[in-house]
A = this chain, B = another copy of it.
């Protein structure tokens, strides 16, 4: 059945049927939540043994000889740098460790740009028409940082292989454009993996602003669902090869490897950027928690340890995403009223509706007991002019909850689409 070919009568009959079913479901008083990209308890339990690595009998000396319990070490201990370098597939010399949140590193860098300026350039505070590029749909907390600091946010369309690079290349000719938010692998929320060509076009950008920076948030770099490790080109090396070594800040953390909010984070970038970052970090901190770094480094040992661990995450996540795709495929695939990205890693996928329907669908789902991320939340200032996409976050719920929730999403999508088609 293709909804677009149905007569008004047929649509009304379909509406009647779906409404009844939704009514019955609503009476069950469900409370389901697919709104947040939180790991499930089962995933948190995967890292339980890490907590036994540090105890009262531990040798607290890092490889550098430093007692990890005491002061010292602005940029982190060597074994933690090496671990995060492996995770990002970069050289450890390019790495500075952060605290429990890579988001804080991003905030600090934008804040640094505001008050001191990036690498000696004019502080962004004084660039009154400052702008930042935001691939949409994207991560609301990225956009919020730059909005907070008074940037005009410019939406860039997301294609199936990454941001629309023609558009990026056009905008960076403007010197007031100071950066772009990127999640290169399993992008939040589309699940898109940037193609090699897109990565290389990023590395070869020639922005008008010397202090333009790519904020390359590689949050899901080892978060593959398949047995295959999906590799994208190392942006640090690519930028260096392209003669643009200072163009990029890469970020990663163990928030979704071990514990959200109690992991370790890191930034990888060029030597000149590292010097610039330390120039303000030395005032901002006495250095990140080295005991937590030591615990992570000793637990995982090397990239083999990370990969083995991430396979366990994959075995929990894959069936949840597949359950969602199965229902969507069964309920919606022929109707021509919705499409969805099929992420094979990360934490999210995107559900694309007919224009103007997303907000209504999210509201209807909420009334039926299922919470999704507010429609538009993945767009700058929460506003999607097409009102046509919904972020789906299956990680925290159980498989059976996901099945119920996505079935309700399908029903509500049918109903909202019928109304849309009837008005058309």
| A residues neighboring B (CB under 8 Å) | 36, 38-39, 41, 44, 47-49, 51-52, 54-56, 58, 60, 67-73, 99-101, 103-104, 107-108, 111, 114-116, 123, 125, 141, 144-145, 148-149, 255, 259-262, 280, 283-292
Which residues from B are CB-within-8-Å of A56?
A: 48-49, 51-52
CB within 8 Å for A283 and B107 given contacts A70-B261, A114-B115: yes
Q: Are B284 and A260 in contact (CB under 8 A)?
A: no
B289 and A289 contact, CB distance less than 8 A: yes
* Cα of A115 to Cα of B41 in the assembled complex, Å: 39
Given A283-B107, A285-B103; A58-B68 close (CB under 8 Å): no
Q: A51-B54, A101-B285, A260-B286 are in contact. List 11 more A-B contacts (CB 8 A).
A: A49-B56, A51-B58, A70-B261, A71-B260, A101-B286, A104-B286, A116-B148, A145-B283, A262-B289, A262-B290, A289-B292
5 pairs of A and B residues whose beta carbons are closest in the complex:
A48-B56, A262-B291, A69-B259, A71-B260, A107-B284
| B residues less than 8 Å from A60 (CB atoms) | 44
| Distance to closest chain B CB from A261 (angstroms) | 5
In the complex this chain forms, how many copies of it are found?
2
Tell me the complex Cα distance, A281–B256, Å.
Answer: 21
CB pair B261–A286 under 8 Å, yes or no, is: yes
Q: List 5 A-B residue pairs with CB atoms under 8 Å apart, sorted by A's residue number.
A: A44-B60, A44-B69, A100-B288, A262-B290, A262-B291
| Contact of A285 with B104 in the complex, beta carbons under 8 Å | yes
Question: Nearest B residue to A279 by beta-carbon distance?
Answer: B148
Bound Cα distance A55, B49 (Å): 8
Cβ contacts under 8 Å, A289 to chain B: 99-100, 261-262, 289, 292
Q: Which B residue's beta carbon lies closest to that of A71?
A: B260
Question: How distant is A393 from chain B, measured CB to nearest CB, in Å?
Answer: 12
Q: Find out whether the CB atom of B103 lies under 8 angstroms from the CB atom of A292.
A: no
Contacting pair A44 B67 (CB below 8 A): yes
CB-CB under 8 A for A39 and B260, given A56-B52, A144-B283: no
A284 proximity list for chain B (CB < 8 A): 103-104, 107-108, 111
Contacts of A292 in B (CB 8 A): 262, 289, 292
Q: Are A285 and B44 in contact (CB under 8 A)?
A: no
Chain B minimum-CB-distance residue to A54: B51
- Counting chain B CB atoms within 10 Å of each CB, the highest count among A49, A54, A115, A280 belongs to A115
Q: Is the CB of B39 within 8 A of A70?
A: yes
Give the complex CA separation of A364 and B67 in angstroms. Answer: 30
**Contact residues in B for A107 (Cβ distance below 8 Å):** 283-285
Residues of B near A259 (CB, < 8 A) are 69-70, 291
Q: Please indicate the chain B residues that have their CB under 8 angstroms from the CB of A123 in the complex.
A: 125
